[in-house]
Amino acid sequence: MQEKLNVGNREIFKAGSALAGGVARRGETCGALTGAIMAIGSLVGRETLEDIEQYQRAMEPATRVYTLFKEKIGHTLCWEIHKVRYGKVYRLFVPEEREAFHNMGGHGRKGCPEVCGIAARIAADIILDIKKE
């Protein structure tokens, strides 16, 4: 999105590194969803804590990202997405389970990369809509 839509920068990308695996591999909110909302925020988010008006404006597209993601993926929590996609939960902070997740294809084309792609597509579509306005 940074290159194609001119949204965000390397620092934002870098800051999102530990979102993988549902925030530090703990299975919480999907890092791809969080990253998609960060991309929206980098475009329409507030610049100061006091800017409540811009904060409110940023909630609408962020809510759209969340809702569309949940509809397409089936859940927003990483460990619940595992249940939906793979029939079981992998605790990615446990090295053996992380390896099992990888070995069964969790990092393959139909695994997390597909979820990330869906999140990116949702965010890109919304960003394009915002840029039209």
Domain chopping of the chain, boundaries: 2-132
Rounded to two decimals, what is the model's pTM? 0.88
- For 68-96, the pLDDT digits (tens) are 999 999 999 999 999 999 999 999 999 99
Give the 3-state secondary structure percentages of the chain, helix then strand then coil, rounded to 5.
65, 0, 30
Positive or negative, the CA dihedral 121, 126, 129, 133 is negative
Residue 6: its pLDDT value, please? 67
- For 91-108, the pLDDT digits (tens) are 999 999 999 999 999 998
Q: Which two tokens stand for residue 62?
A: 């962020």
Using DSSP's 3-state secondary structure scheme, residue 77 falls into: strand
